[in-house]
Amino acid sequence: MPSPRSSDESVIEISKVSTRFGDHVVHSELDLDVRRGEIFALIGGSGSGKSTLLREMILLQRPDSGSIRVLGVDLDKIADGDVDRDALALRQRWGVMFQHGGLFGSLTVHENIGLPLREHTELDDALIDEIAAWKLAMTGLAPEVGAQYPSELSGGMMKRASLARALALDPELLFLDEPTAGLDPESAGEVDRLVRKLRDRFGLTIVMITHDLDLLWQLADRVAVLGDGTVQGTGSMSELAQSDKPTIRKFFEGPRGRAAHAQDEQNGTASWKAK
Amino acid sequence: MNPVPAAPAAIARPTPQEFALSGAWTARGMGAIAVQLSSLATPAGEELIVDGARIEALDTAGAWVLQSLLQQLRMAGSAVELRDLRPEFAALLEAMQHEMGESERSLPPRAHAPSMLAALGRQVVAAAEQGLALLSFVGECALALRQCIAHPTRFRWRPILYNVRTAGFDALPIVGLLSFLLGVVVAYQGANQLRQYGANIFVADLVGLSMLREFAPLITAIIVAGRSGSAYAAQIGTMAVTEEIDAMRTLGIPPLEMLVFPKFFALLIALPLLTVFADVLGVFGGMFMAGPTLGVGLDDFLDRLVKAVSVTSYLIGVGKAPVFAAIIVVVGCFQGFRTHGGADSVGRQTTRSVVQSIFLVIVADALFSVAFSALDL
């Protein structure tokens, strides 16, 4: 297995970001850094602003103050609007897998995957079809799935198809919103392997929101815990497990947290250390 | 993966044995490459050199094309040597080869268009199936309605009143305006003919009978089908897509009772009332026009109207309204319940509900006309 190409270069730099919805403060002076080539996870309780932060990183929402730089571009400098050139150029450099897939219901899976290529490149249709079929196969879906419509897919297939579409334009950066939520353990394990493969083979930087403790222990290089509007702690899971901050501790205490940790100690430490 | 825009991908042939690749071999840089690839002469059985030194960017799409090119050359029986590729690109190409080995290269089976006869057959079967389904929906509703009437405590008064307001009261302005305009049009169009015979006063007969018997019930039903029938289909359709209908069933609440009956009773009340309102405004529109175009004053018009229009005509018009109401609710809700899949399907079913309910309302109106003329009403 090639070693992770983690480097010190920052892909996402968030500094002093504050967001409010009316009187409700979501983020207050939040700082965060994501490095190139790492698998970065955002965790936090419900309402801790994980999804809002993700939406701010992918230009779907603006913070009230503070700056966010993604792939070296200051998002503040980019004009609002869906047709802005800079925004379009930047959006083609990242891929997003939405929690519920976000696949277009009126298109087949194959057409969904080919859509970004058709829209943004001048490749001919035959080549686009080949590339789309290959991306579909890469995410582990059978070729027949390509002809189906999103409403005919199971949850796991939907996530993979969505991932295949996010990968269509070869992004440098991949955002995953709850990649394993609602999946059976086997499908979750496959998503896990797929994400690792993407990082190892193609050097993608991956930012994900997840509650899946197994995924966190086995996949994430670094994890940021969000709470009370700021980052409570950042580090690998084993580092965070040592923390005594109560907001961080509550993720590791409780039967589920302990079980995932124990399981990881038993059979996961070898691979963990190998990294 | 290179953010800096590079020259587009290109293939040069310094010598027949050499392919010099250059530019950005990325999804966005390969716009012209397919043409070049297909026109590429592949010398067979020679030792070829593919020079990758000047490739400035490579992504998976580019690696795919490059890989296909190498395969194409090798298939032609040549020994191919790829050289001077940047190490990071070579790593990507290797990863790709690994991937391609793992996964089979196969395109999804293309759906081919059925022949005209097959398409016609399918349409007929689908229409027949839909007709049967509508009939069984009506049956289901009737059965549930019988149960509901046997236990009047299960009537949901609040949603009924809410629906009377949204489907009835809120529709007053648009129904009133349109039937007023319709009355104006009827009087205006009739004026010329009537004046020729000196039968000016009969404008009251024309407006009164046509509005009360035909136009008011019909225009009201059509507006309500467009306004409320579509809303019923969209509401129930969205609920079906988001599994709310299933949730309702598992909670032991019959969806028909919760969703269909309140609308049904509400429209049964609201549509006849709206029709009466349309009658009044329509006749008023005709009356308004009769003065300037035919010189028939308000008093004369009203005098004549009372003689010309019998109570039967009025009742026939209003009596059609409950039938139209039933059609609108049943078709709207039926199409809503047939929604499955996604947002797309909701739109499709909503369109269907409007088209079908207007169609059925007009068919029913035609049948009424035939029946009433047979009965000499």
Is B111 touching A (CB cutoff 8 A)?
yes
Q: Is the pLDDT of residue B178 over 90?
A: yes
pLDDT of residue A258: 66
Q: Do A126 and B31 touch (CB under 8 A)?
A: no
Is B34 touching A (CB cutoff 8 A)?
yes
| Band of pLDDT at residue A263, cut at 50, 70 and 90 | low
Angstrom distance (rounded) from CA A150 to CA B146? 40
Q: Which residue of B has its CA nearest to A110?
A: B108
Angstrom distance (rounded) from CA A200 to CA A209? 20
Q: Do B26 and A170 touch (CB under 8 A)?
A: yes
pLDDT of residue B73: 79
Q: Is the pLDDT of residue B198 over 50?
A: yes
Q: How far A149 CA lies from chain B's nearest CA (Å)?
A: 9
pLDDT tens-digit profile of A108-121? 999 999 998 888 88
What DSSP assignment string belongs to B215-232?
IHHHHHHHHHIIIIIHHH
Q: How far B319 CA lies from chain A's nearest CA (Å)?
A: 43
- The CA-atom distances, in angstroms, between B134 and each of A267, B121, B288 are 59, 20, 44
User: Which of B25, B26, B28 should one mutate to test binding to chain A, selecting the residue with the greatest count of A CBs within 10 A?
Assistant: B28
Mean local confidence (pLDDT), B83-100: 79
Mean local confidence (pLDDT), A226-239: 86
- Of the candidates A71, A106, A117, which has its C-beta nearest B27's C-beta? A117
| Band of pLDDT at residue A208, cut at 50, 70 and 90 | very high
pLDDT of residue A2: 39
**For helices B343-374 and B311-337, what crossing angle results, to 10°?**
150
User: How many helices and strands in chain B, by DSSP H and E?
Assistant: 15, 4
Of B31-35, B153-157, B224-228, B341-345, which gets the smallest average pLDDT? B31-35
Mean local confidence (pLDDT), B312-338: 94
How many whole angstroms from its chain centre is CA B136?
A: 23
pLDDT of residue B100: 67
Nearest to B340 by CA among B331, B348, B329, B332: B348
Angstrom distance (rounded) from CA B90 to CA B9? 17
Q: Do A71 and B1 touch (CB under 8 A)?
A: no
Q: How far A213 CA lies from chain B's nearest CA (Å)?
A: 28
Is B97 touching A (CB cutoff 8 A)?
no
Q: Is the pLDDT of residue A275 over 80?
A: no
Mean local confidence (pLDDT), B220-245: 93
Structure tokens at A142: 């059978």
| Comparison of pLDDT for B55 and B367, the residue scoring more | B367
| Band of pLDDT at residue B186, cut at 50, 70 and 90 | very high
Angstrom distance (rounded) from CA A247 to CA A194? 31
pLDDT of residue B217: 95
ipTM value > 0.85: no
pLDDT tens-digit profile of B250-261? 888 888 888 999
Is B58 touching A (CB cutoff 8 A)?
no
Q: How many CA atoms lie within 13 A of A95 on its CB side?
A: 24
Q: Is the pLDDT of residue B144 over 90?
A: no
pLDDT tens-digit profile of A150-169? 888 888 888 889 999 998 88
Angstrom distance (rounded) from CA A250 to CA B269? 58
Angstrom distance (rounded) from CA A119 to CA A107? 14
Q: Which residue of A has its CA nearest to B30?
A: A123
pLDDT tens-digit profile of A58-97? 888 888 888 898 888 888 888 766 667 788 888 888 899 9
Cβ pair B312, B212 in contact under 8 A: no
pLDDT tens-digit profile of B28-39? 778 777 777 777
| Band of pLDDT at residue B366, cut at 50, 70 and 90 | very high
